[in-house]
């Protein structure tokens, strides 16, 4: 059987990193770029830009949902390993 080692700090750092990226993504909404279709000066271009904005927002929402779930999973895994080893996860620090 292989010797498996888990670096709790690495799991917590990864969870924190994913959280930070998701927060940054959420802070930049593409809706701010597409204010109205008429602002593009061409009806078809405005329609395409608006469609892009809607699709981008939907994709970004899916990405952040998945990323947040990944971060929660990493944090829960670290806590489970720590519990099994009798450690307190809160004693570990975020980042290095």
Asked whether residue 95 is domain-assigned, the answer is no
Residue 34 structural domain: 8-88
Check residue 95 and give its pLDDT: 47
Distance separating alpha carbons of residues 14 and 25, to the nearest angstrom:
17
Query: Is residue 60 over pLDDT 50?
Result: yes
Burial class (CB in 10 A: 0-12, 13-18, 19+), 39: exposed
The answer to whether position 3 is within a domain reads: no
Predicted local distance difference test score (pLDDT) of residue 83: 84
Cα distances (angstroms) measured from residue 82 to each of 14, 47, 95: 16, 52, 17
Predicted confidence (pLDDT) at residue 66 exceeds the cutoff of 90: yes
Is residue 1 in some structural domain?
A: no
- Is residue 32 included in any domain, yes or no? yes
* pLDDT at position 90: 66
Q: What is the pLDDT of residue 49?
A: 83
Kindly state the average pLDDT of the residues 30-59: 79
- Mean pLDDT score across all residues of the chain: 82
């Amino acid at each position: 059987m292989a010797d498996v080692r888990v670096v709790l700090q690495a799991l917590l750092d990864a969870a924190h990193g994913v959280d930070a990226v998701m927060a940054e993504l959420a802070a930049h909404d593409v809706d701010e770029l597409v204010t109205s279709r008429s602002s593009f000066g061409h009806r078809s271009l405005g329609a395409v830009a608006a469609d892009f904005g809607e699709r981008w927002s939907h994709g970004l929402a899916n990405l952040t949902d998945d990323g947040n779930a990944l971060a929660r999973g990493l944090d829960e895994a670290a806590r489970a390993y720590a519990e099994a080893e009798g450690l307190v996860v809160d004693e570990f620090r975020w980042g290095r």
